[in-house]
Amino acid sequence: MSQTVEKNPTATIAELQKISSQVRRDIVRMVHGCQSGHPGGSLGCTDFLVALYFYILNHQSDFKMKGEGEDMFFLSNGHISPLWYSVLARSGYFPIHELATFRKLDSRLQGHPATEENLPGIRIASGSLGQGLSVGIGAALSKKLSKDTSKIFVLMGDGELQEGQIWEAAMYAAHNEVDNLIATVDYNGQQIDGPVDEIMSLKNIKAKWEAFGWDVVECNGNDFESLLPALDEAIARSGNGKPILNIMTTEMGYGVDFMVGTHKWHGIPPNDEQLSLALGQLEETLGDY
Protein backbone atom coordinates (compact mmCIF):
# COMPACT_ATOMS: atom_id res chain seq x y z
CA MET A 1 0.00 0.00 0.00
CA SER A 2 1.63 3.23 -1.13
CA GLN A 3 1.54 6.34 1.03
CA THR A 4 1.72 10.09 0.98
CA VAL A 5 3.40 11.89 3.85
CA GLU A 6 2.49 15.24 5.37
CA LYS A 7 5.06 17.93 5.92
CA ASN A 8 6.44 17.66 9.42
CA PRO A 9 8.76 20.39 10.70
CA THR A 10 9.80 18.14 13.56
CA ALA A 11 10.57 15.15 11.35
CA THR A 12 13.59 13.22 12.42
CA ILE A 13 16.46 12.52 10.10
CA ALA A 14 15.55 8.84 10.19
CA GLU A 15 12.06 9.68 8.94
CA LEU A 16 13.42 11.85 6.12
CA GLN A 17 15.85 9.09 5.15
CA LYS A 18 12.95 6.69 4.82
CA ILE A 19 11.17 9.06 2.47
CA SER A 20 14.35 9.55 0.45
CA SER A 21 14.73 5.82 0.02
CA GLN A 22 11.22 5.52 -1.38
CA VAL A 23 11.67 8.56 -3.63
CA ARG A 24 14.87 7.05 -5.03
CA ARG A 25 12.98 3.84 -5.75
CA ASP A 26 10.32 5.88 -7.53
CA ILE A 27 12.98 7.63 -9.64
CA VAL A 28 14.69 4.50 -10.92
CA ARG A 29 11.36 2.80 -11.53
CA MET A 30 10.01 5.82 -13.43
CA VAL A 31 13.00 6.14 -15.76
CA HIS A 32 13.04 2.39 -16.21
CA GLY A 33 9.31 2.38 -16.93
CA CYS A 34 9.61 4.68 -19.92
CA GLN A 35 13.25 3.80 -20.71
CA SER A 36 14.04 7.48 -20.73
CA GLY A 37 14.85 10.34 -18.35
CA HIS A 38 17.56 11.55 -16.03
CA PRO A 39 18.29 9.38 -12.98
CA GLY A 40 21.75 10.74 -12.03
CA GLY A 41 20.91 14.28 -10.95
CA SER A 42 17.54 13.14 -9.60
CA LEU A 43 19.13 10.68 -7.20
CA GLY A 44 21.76 13.22 -6.19
CA CYS A 45 19.21 15.89 -5.25
CA THR A 46 16.71 13.56 -3.60
CA ASP A 47 17.63 14.41 -0.02
CA PHE A 48 17.41 18.13 -0.78
CA LEU A 49 13.92 17.99 -2.24
CA VAL A 50 12.76 15.66 0.54
CA ALA A 51 14.14 18.13 3.09
CA LEU A 52 12.32 20.98 1.37
CA TYR A 53 8.92 19.39 0.97
CA PHE A 54 8.79 17.40 4.21
CA TYR A 55 10.64 19.72 6.56
CA ILE A 56 11.39 23.24 5.28
CA LEU A 57 8.66 24.57 3.00
CA ASN A 58 5.46 26.07 4.26
CA HIS A 59 3.24 24.71 1.49
CA GLN A 60 -0.13 23.13 0.76
CA SER A 61 -0.60 20.02 -1.31
CA ASP A 62 -4.04 21.41 -2.19
CA PHE A 63 -2.31 23.31 -4.95
CA LYS A 64 -2.99 26.99 -5.68
CA MET A 65 -1.02 28.55 -8.53
CA LYS A 66 -0.78 31.93 -6.79
CA GLY A 67 0.66 30.40 -3.62
CA GLU A 68 -0.40 33.27 -1.37
CA GLY A 69 1.17 32.90 2.06
CA GLU A 70 3.10 29.82 0.90
CA ASP A 71 6.77 29.24 0.24
CA MET A 72 7.38 28.40 -3.40
CA PHE A 73 9.90 26.12 -5.04
CA PHE A 74 11.14 26.47 -8.63
CA LEU A 75 13.17 23.75 -10.34
CA SER A 76 15.42 25.39 -12.91
CA ASN A 77 17.24 22.20 -13.93
CA GLY A 78 13.98 20.66 -15.08
CA HIS A 79 15.52 17.42 -16.30
CA ILE A 80 15.48 16.04 -12.74
CA SER A 81 11.70 15.99 -13.08
CA PRO A 82 11.26 12.35 -11.87
CA LEU A 83 12.55 13.44 -8.48
CA TRP A 84 10.21 16.43 -8.29
CA TYR A 85 7.22 14.38 -9.45
CA SER A 86 7.88 11.70 -6.88
CA VAL A 87 8.26 14.22 -4.05
CA LEU A 88 5.10 16.07 -5.13
CA ALA A 89 3.11 12.83 -5.30
CA ARG A 90 4.49 11.59 -1.98
CA SER A 91 3.50 14.98 -0.46
CA GLY A 92 -0.05 14.52 -1.66
CA TYR A 93 -0.16 16.90 -4.65
CA PHE A 94 -1.45 14.18 -6.99
CA PRO A 95 -2.02 10.42 -6.86
CA ILE A 96 1.09 8.30 -6.55
CA HIS A 97 -0.07 5.86 -9.23
CA GLU A 98 0.26 8.69 -11.75
CA LEU A 99 4.06 8.36 -11.45
CA ALA A 100 3.70 5.33 -13.74
CA THR A 101 2.72 7.65 -16.60
CA PHE A 102 6.03 9.57 -16.56
CA ARG A 103 7.14 10.57 -20.09
CA LYS A 104 4.36 8.53 -21.69
CA LEU A 105 1.75 9.75 -24.14
CA ASP A 106 -1.14 11.77 -22.64
CA SER A 107 0.61 12.10 -19.27
CA ARG A 108 0.63 15.17 -17.06
CA LEU A 109 4.15 14.12 -16.10
CA GLN A 110 6.00 15.53 -19.08
CA GLY A 111 9.68 14.80 -19.68
CA HIS A 112 10.40 18.23 -18.30
CA PRO A 113 8.03 20.04 -15.92
CA ALA A 114 5.17 21.89 -17.60
CA THR A 115 2.04 23.76 -16.62
CA GLU A 116 -0.03 22.98 -19.71
CA GLU A 117 -1.62 19.86 -18.26
CA ASN A 118 -2.16 21.52 -14.87
CA LEU A 119 -0.06 19.11 -12.87
CA PRO A 120 -0.44 20.30 -9.26
CA GLY A 121 2.78 21.71 -7.83
CA ILE A 122 4.25 23.04 -11.08
CA ARG A 123 4.13 26.81 -11.58
CA ILE A 124 6.31 27.18 -14.67
CA ALA A 125 7.89 25.08 -17.36
CA SER A 126 11.61 24.39 -17.11
CA GLY A 127 14.09 22.30 -19.01
CA SER A 128 15.81 24.77 -21.28
CA LEU A 129 18.44 25.74 -18.73
CA GLY A 130 19.23 29.05 -17.09
CA GLN A 131 15.71 30.42 -16.70
CA GLY A 132 14.54 29.35 -13.24
CA LEU A 133 16.53 31.81 -11.16
CA SER A 134 14.98 34.75 -13.00
CA VAL A 135 11.52 33.28 -12.50
CA GLY A 136 12.20 32.75 -8.81
CA ILE A 137 13.35 36.34 -8.44
CA GLY A 138 10.18 37.54 -10.16
CA ALA A 139 8.09 35.49 -7.74
CA ALA A 140 10.13 36.88 -4.83
CA LEU A 141 9.52 40.45 -6.00
CA SER A 142 5.83 39.69 -6.26
CA LYS A 143 5.85 38.39 -2.66
CA LYS A 144 7.54 41.56 -1.47
CA LEU A 145 5.06 43.77 -3.31
CA SER A 146 2.13 42.02 -1.64
CA LYS A 147 3.86 42.04 1.78
CA ASP A 148 3.87 38.24 1.82
CA THR A 149 6.80 37.16 3.99
CA SER A 150 7.07 33.63 2.54
CA LYS A 151 10.27 32.52 0.86
CA ILE A 152 11.19 31.50 -2.64
CA PHE A 153 13.47 28.50 -3.21
CA VAL A 154 15.20 27.73 -6.51
CA LEU A 155 17.33 24.76 -7.50
CA MET A 156 19.87 24.99 -10.33
CA GLY A 157 22.47 22.61 -11.68
CA ASP A 158 26.15 23.46 -11.57
CA GLY A 159 26.64 22.94 -15.30
CA GLU A 160 23.63 25.21 -15.70
CA LEU A 161 25.69 28.08 -14.30
CA GLN A 162 27.35 28.19 -17.71
CA GLU A 163 24.17 29.86 -19.01
CA GLY A 164 24.51 33.64 -19.18
CA GLN A 165 21.00 34.38 -17.94
CA ILE A 166 21.96 33.00 -14.50
CA TRP A 167 24.46 35.81 -14.09
CA GLU A 168 22.01 38.46 -15.29
CA ALA A 169 19.69 37.18 -12.58
CA ALA A 170 22.46 36.98 -9.98
CA MET A 171 23.39 40.60 -10.63
CA TYR A 172 19.78 41.74 -10.50
CA ALA A 173 18.91 39.99 -7.23
CA ALA A 174 21.92 41.39 -5.40
CA HIS A 175 21.46 44.93 -6.72
CA ASN A 176 17.81 44.93 -5.76
CA GLU A 177 18.30 43.20 -2.39
CA VAL A 178 15.98 40.30 -3.17
CA ASP A 179 16.55 38.75 0.24
CA ASN A 180 13.48 36.50 0.41
CA LEU A 181 15.16 34.15 -2.05
CA ILE A 182 17.24 31.07 -1.30
CA ALA A 183 18.81 29.53 -4.38
CA THR A 184 20.65 26.24 -4.30
CA VAL A 185 23.26 24.94 -6.72
CA ASP A 186 23.49 21.20 -7.10
CA TYR A 187 27.28 21.06 -7.06
CA ASN A 188 27.83 17.54 -8.34
CA GLY A 189 30.64 18.46 -10.71
CA GLN A 190 29.13 16.61 -13.66
CA GLN A 191 27.45 17.57 -16.90
CA ILE A 192 26.44 15.65 -20.03
CA ASP A 193 29.79 15.64 -21.78
CA GLY A 194 31.86 14.99 -18.65
CA PRO A 195 33.15 16.64 -15.48
CA VAL A 196 32.30 20.34 -15.23
CA ASP A 197 35.96 21.09 -14.56
CA GLU A 198 36.85 19.64 -17.98
CA ILE A 199 33.96 21.16 -19.93
CA MET A 200 34.09 24.68 -18.49
CA SER A 201 35.23 25.05 -14.92
CA LEU A 202 33.27 27.17 -12.47
CA LYS A 203 36.62 27.88 -10.74
CA ASN A 204 35.89 29.40 -7.34
CA ILE A 205 32.12 29.18 -7.32
CA LYS A 206 31.76 30.61 -3.79
CA ALA A 207 33.93 33.62 -4.56
CA LYS A 208 31.98 34.24 -7.76
CA TRP A 209 28.60 34.43 -6.00
CA GLU A 210 30.01 36.47 -3.13
CA ALA A 211 31.55 38.87 -5.63
CA PHE A 212 28.10 39.22 -7.20
CA GLY A 213 26.78 40.26 -3.78
CA TRP A 214 25.17 37.05 -2.52
CA ASP A 215 25.35 35.57 0.95
CA VAL A 216 26.65 32.01 0.56
CA VAL A 217 26.09 28.90 2.68
CA GLU A 218 27.56 25.48 1.91
CA CYS A 219 26.51 21.96 2.72
CA ASN A 220 26.65 18.31 1.79
CA GLY A 221 23.38 17.60 0.02
CA ASN A 222 23.55 13.87 0.63
CA ASP A 223 23.82 14.18 4.40
CA PHE A 224 20.79 15.46 6.31
CA GLU A 225 23.09 16.29 9.25
CA SER A 226 24.73 18.88 7.01
CA LEU A 227 21.81 19.79 4.76
CA LEU A 228 19.15 20.63 7.37
CA PRO A 229 21.31 23.03 9.43
CA ALA A 230 22.45 24.72 6.21
CA LEU A 231 18.86 25.31 5.09
CA ASP A 232 17.89 26.55 8.55
CA GLU A 233 20.90 28.85 8.48
CA ALA A 234 19.95 30.14 5.00
CA ILE A 235 16.45 30.95 6.24
CA ALA A 236 17.86 32.63 9.35
CA ARG A 237 20.07 34.82 7.20
CA SER A 238 17.29 35.84 4.81
CA GLY A 239 15.75 39.28 5.12
CA ASN A 240 19.11 40.94 5.53
CA GLY A 241 19.45 42.67 2.21
CA LYS A 242 21.19 39.89 0.32
CA PRO A 243 19.91 36.96 -1.73
CA ILE A 244 21.22 33.64 -0.43
CA LEU A 245 23.01 30.93 -2.33
CA ASN A 246 23.38 27.42 -0.99
CA ILE A 247 26.27 25.59 -2.61
CA MET A 248 25.20 22.01 -2.10
CA THR A 249 27.75 19.32 -2.84
CA THR A 250 26.10 16.12 -4.02
CA GLU A 251 27.06 12.96 -5.79
CA MET A 252 25.22 12.29 -8.99
CA GLY A 253 23.46 8.95 -8.72
CA TYR A 254 23.67 8.86 -4.91
CA GLY A 255 22.04 5.79 -3.38
CA VAL A 256 22.74 3.39 -6.24
CA ASP A 257 26.36 2.27 -6.14
CA PHE A 258 26.88 1.75 -9.85
CA MET A 259 25.39 5.13 -10.70
CA VAL A 260 27.35 7.22 -8.18
CA GLY A 261 29.74 9.94 -9.12
CA THR A 262 29.70 9.69 -12.88
CA HIS A 263 28.09 11.75 -15.62
CA LYS A 264 27.31 8.51 -17.47
CA TRP A 265 23.96 8.18 -15.70
CA HIS A 266 22.95 11.78 -16.41
CA GLY A 267 20.39 10.85 -19.01
CA ILE A 268 20.09 7.11 -19.51
CA PRO A 269 17.69 4.61 -17.90
CA PRO A 270 18.61 1.33 -16.24
CA ASN A 271 17.77 -1.96 -18.00
CA ASP A 272 15.81 -4.69 -16.19
CA GLU A 273 18.88 -6.18 -14.54
CA GLN A 274 20.21 -2.79 -13.46
CA LEU A 275 16.79 -1.89 -12.10
CA SER A 276 16.67 -4.89 -9.80
CA LEU A 277 20.26 -4.22 -8.69
CA ALA A 278 19.29 -0.63 -7.88
CA LEU A 279 16.07 -1.54 -6.09
CA GLY A 280 18.05 -4.05 -4.02
CA GLN A 281 19.96 -1.11 -2.60
CA LEU A 282 16.91 1.06 -1.86
CA GLU A 283 14.50 0.00 0.83
CA GLU A 284 10.79 0.15 0.02
CA THR A 285 9.57 2.25 2.93
CA LEU A 286 6.27 3.81 1.84
CA GLY A 287 5.12 1.29 -0.73
CA ASP A 288 5.89 1.40 -4.45
CA TYR A 289 3.42 3.10 -6.79
- Give the shortest CB-114-to-another protein separation in angstroms: 7
- Please return the burial class of 68, using the count of CB atoms within 10 Å of its CB with bins 0-12, 13-18 and 19+: exposed
Exactly one of 42, 86, 126, 250 binds another protein (CB under 8 A); that residue is 126
What is the nearest approach in angstroms of another protein to the Cβ of residue 183? 13
Q: How far apart are CA 189 and CA 256, in angstroms?
A: 18
Pairing of strands 244-249, 181-187: parallel
58 binds another protein (CB under 8 A): no
In the chain, count of helices (H) and strands (E)? 10, 7
End-to-end CA distance of the chain: 8
Residue from 77, 86, 131, 246 touching another protein (CB under 8 A): that is 131
**Which C-beta is closer to another protein: that of 140 or that of 282?**
140
Query: What are the C-alpha distances in Å from 288 to residues 22, 55, 96, 283?
Result: 7, 22, 9, 10
248 binds another protein (CB under 8 A): no
Closest CA to 224 of 53, 2, 51, 23: 51
- How far apart are the C-alpha atoms of 41 and 28, rounded to whole Å? 12
Greatest extent of the chain over all pairs of C-alpha atoms, in Å: 53
Return the residue of 16, 56, 88, 133 that touches another protein, per CB under 8 A. 133
Q: Is 62 one of the binding residues for another protein (CB under 8 A)?
A: no
Which residue of 139, 216, 245, 282 would you call a contact of another protein, by CB under 8 A? 139
Parallel, antiparallel, or unpaired for β 152-157 and 72-75? Answer: parallel
For another protein, the binding residue among 50, 89, 140, 278 (CB under 8 A) is 140
How many residues at the interface with another protein, by CB under 8 A?
40
Does the protein bind another protein through residue 125 (CB under 8 A)? Answer: yes
Binding of another protein at residue 123 (CB under 8 A)?
yes
C-beta of 139: minimal distance to another protein in Å? 4
- x-or-dash pattern for another protein, window 65-84, by CB under 8 A? xxxx---x-x----------
Query: Could you tell me the smallest distance in angstroms from the CB atom of residue 250 to another protein?
Result: 25
Which stretch, 43-51, 87-95, 127-135, 205-213, contacts another protein (CB under 8 A)? Answer: 127-135
Q: How many residues comprise the chain?
A: 289
Under the binding rule (CB under 8 A), the answer on residue 168 touching another protein is yes
Binding segment for another protein (CB under 8 A), chosen from 1-9, 26-34, 121-129, 227-235, is: 121-129
Residue 182, beta-bridge partner list? 153, 244
Q: Should residue 164 be labelled a site residue for another protein when binding is judged by CB under 8 A?
A: yes
Residues of this chain that bind another protein (CB under 8 A): 65-68, 72, 74, 114-116, 123-128, 130-143, 145-146, 148, 164-165, 168-169, 171-172, 175-176
